Amino acid sequence: MMKKIGFIGLGIMGKPMSKNLLKAGYPLVVYSLNENKVNELVGLGAEKGFSPKDVAARTEIVITMLPDSPQVKEVIFGENGIHEGIREGSMVVDMSSIAPLVSRELAEKLAEQGVRMLDAPVSGGETKAVEGTLSIMVGGEEEDYQEIYPVLNAMGSSMVYCGKIGAGNITKLANQIIVAVNIAAMSEALVLAQKGGVDPGVVFKAIRGGLAGSTVLDAKAPLILARQFKPGFRMKLHIKDLNNVLETGREVGAPLPLTSAVMEMMQVLKSNGYAEEDHGALVRYYEKLSRIEVSPQGVFE
């Protein structure tokens, strides 16, 4: 018999992830501050949760998918939080992208109640969340990972056990460095092409099959060329992740000069009102400097 799962957080990622759990046949109790999203999931067969405490009391596994460390702390240990309702032997799986040291702190406190915890952040954005093909990076006890594997498999196509608690988020931070720097390099290159009088769409087609090709290039270049910046992953959330990257780098003594540079670019765009756009809108930073737009239209005033 499938274990009953609680899912807290129905944002851009959480809602499709929840839907995929329902499609896989898991009984689901959902909770979110957005009532419309809760009702949508209830219409698909989920049960409505009335608080994190209520969700935890009614399930064996509680998944959280929230913006950042403060929200995860509040949902787990705040008033009417998970810790008030969860039973000994149950498991919390935090799929948010948060600071690794916070994951370790939360796991230690939950362990005092006999509750297990995994950190299992994801990569792939909204598209792969909808498809159920996310990459999932997991930290915690390996036997807990093996137990939860079928649940994760309903949401992802690549699950990797990375080590003890916090290792999932360390891995996700490494992922976010590579994605951010890739988007910056791609943006720089496409603006160079446009400025040099070469169709950036042709440049994209020419380089994607070579060493410069990447998942980031294939996913983001077509959207940039079409001027589509609807968020699959919001700029402000990547800023949050890079803040966690830089804090963790300072804690462990890892120099991060490229990450620091891209962070400053994103902060400029945030101050110019682009925080809610997709992180692919990083191209706007280069466009504003060069007074050129990566599009068939070219120069703008």
Closest alpha carbon to 191 in 294, 301, 281: 294
Residue with tokens 């690549």: 158
What are the residues whose beta carbons fall under 8 Å from the beta carbon of 188, sequence distance 6 or more? 286
172 included as an active-site residue: yes
113/272 Cα distance (integer angstroms): 46
Q: What's the angle, vertex CA 78, arms to CA 8 and CA 249, rounded to 5?
A: 80
8 A C-beta contact, residue 65 and residue 95: yes
Report the candidate in 44, 54, 50 with the shortest Cα–Cα distance to residue 22. 44
- Strand bridging mode 47-48 / 28-31: parallel
3-state secondary structure 222-241: HHHHCCCCCCCCEHHHHHHH
Q: What sign has the CA pseudo-torsion 256, 217, 176, 172?
A: negative
Question: Max CA-CA distance within the chain?
Answer: 65
Distances (CA, A) of 165 to 140, 144, 200, 225: 4, 11, 43, 40
Strands (DSSP E) contained in 36-181 are: 47-48, 61-64, 91-94, 116-119, 122-123, 134-139, 156-163
Catalytic site residue from 53, 172, 220, 240: 172
Active-site positions read: 172
